[in-house]
Structure 1
């Protein structure tokens, strides 16, 4: 049994895998809850990806026989061509490895819709090239409120007006329709450049976007967990 820990900015996701199958998932918003769970769960292997608490500390809480920390020196099942691998977000490389695991020998564009929108390209030879980073939904609303004198802090709405008729609805129209067009536009550019492109959407806002995009996508909210598990299996087998 494998235990996978993905500790983000606001919460920790824990996936339990039997080989490649995700059999259980937990979300912890308090560090002490995560610690208690890990100390009381028996697993053969563990991998930790963290942008929050020190990953080595989290790994020390588990009783797993083999423990791995995701960082830029850990061997990967893809070839990393990123110019500055030491600055690459661990969630981005995990998502790409998840895409590789699902769609081998396929050009893949991984779109992670979370705090930021990240675009990551993996070619059909298993080589990761990089991509793009853009502000996410909530960040765009917060930025307009923070960097202007009078614009309010507006929340996301499921079906924004195209033609806003108030400051609030105009902001919702601009952010949401604008971001949908951005994502569709990026997908179109990649599709024109790379044959047989598979687009995989993941991240916290997957549910919001998956039925709003014109492009054909494969929605995989747990892609990062699956990618971390594939990295773990790759290193266990070495």
Structure 2
């Protein structure tokens, strides 16, 4: 179908992110403060299909709110083009699966590691046989900053402030020490996980996405493919494959 328009939506813990695709190409992505404002946008765009992945709003709520579009809600019980080797699938975040699906479509028959830099940092491994092997969940940048303030008496809360980068071996102020501790710890963590997985999964392809990805993508040692819209692209590919 020519001029086919899809809207796909990734509802995270803190943000609602949508992508408008036309004939398979991402034309625009936007952030929304509520699903009601997203609904008004969808009515303006008149998409052929609309698909969701959500860790916040429930399936019933989304089906009722967007009923006029007959939306597709992807969950961890949805049919996927990958196999899943995971013991607690019921608790597996669908956004993690969508990242693996995106890797499956973009790098077929390759060992891939998807790193999503959101509220938490997730590492998800898809092997060359398209089997999702699981991964790691780690606190994200702002979560680490907030935790140092929450669990101490005197350390400030830097989680709401703009992230600044100025690498130096040691911090010369409390703020610098905190920022250096969080930033460098995350970089060492990413490099460490990539190194460990690459030992077991040859020719590993590493994809990075999420809100904090632009800050870290150039600072890790190993080569990566950074794409802030990876989850949206995976959603649209999955929607079109049905």
Short-chain TM bin: over 0.9
Measure, in 2, the Cα distance between the counterparts of 1:200 and 1:6: 18
SS at match of 2:29: strand
Matched, 1:191 2:165: no
Return the match for 1:221 from 202, 209, 228: 228
Judge conservation of contact 1:80–1:127 (CA < 8 Å) in 2. Answer: yes
Q: Deviations over 1:42-89 (max 9, x none)?
A: 12222111122223333442643x531111221001111121111011
| Distance of 1:210 and 1:187 partners within structure 2 | 13
Instruction: Summarize the alignment of residues 69-88 of structure 1 with structure 2, pairs less than 5 Å apart.
Output: 69-88=73-92
Query: Structure 2: any 5+ residue segments left out of the alignment?
Result: none
CA RMSD of aligned residues (A): 1.5
Higher mean C-alpha displacement, 50-59 vs 199-208: 50-59
Aligned residue-pair number: 234
Deviation above 6 Å: which 4+ runs of structure 1?
none
Tell me the SS of whatever aligns to 2:71: strand
Report how far residue 121 of structure 1 moved: 0.2
Q: What's the TM-score once normalised by structure 1's chain length?
A: 0.92
What stretches of structure 1 of length at least 5 have no aligned partner? none
1:61 equivalent among 66, 76, 80: 66
- In the superposition, the TM-score normalised over structure 2's length comes to 0.91
Relative to structure 1, the CA distance from residue 69 to residue 31 in structure 2 (aligned partners, 3 Å threshold; closer, same or farther) is closer
**Residues 114 and 203, structure 1, Cα contact 8 Å, conserved in 2:** yes
Of 225-234 and 156-165, deviating more is 156-165
Aligned pairs for 1:88-107 (under 5 A) are 88-107=92-111
Matches of 1:107 and 1:192 in 2, distance apart? 12
Within 2, Cα distance between the matches of 1:132 and 1:116? 10
1:115 aligns with 2:119: yes
Alignment of 1:23-62 (within 5 A): 23-59=27-63, 60-61=65-66
Residues 137-156 of structure 1 aligned to structure 2 (within 5 Å): 137-154=141-158, 155=161, 156=163
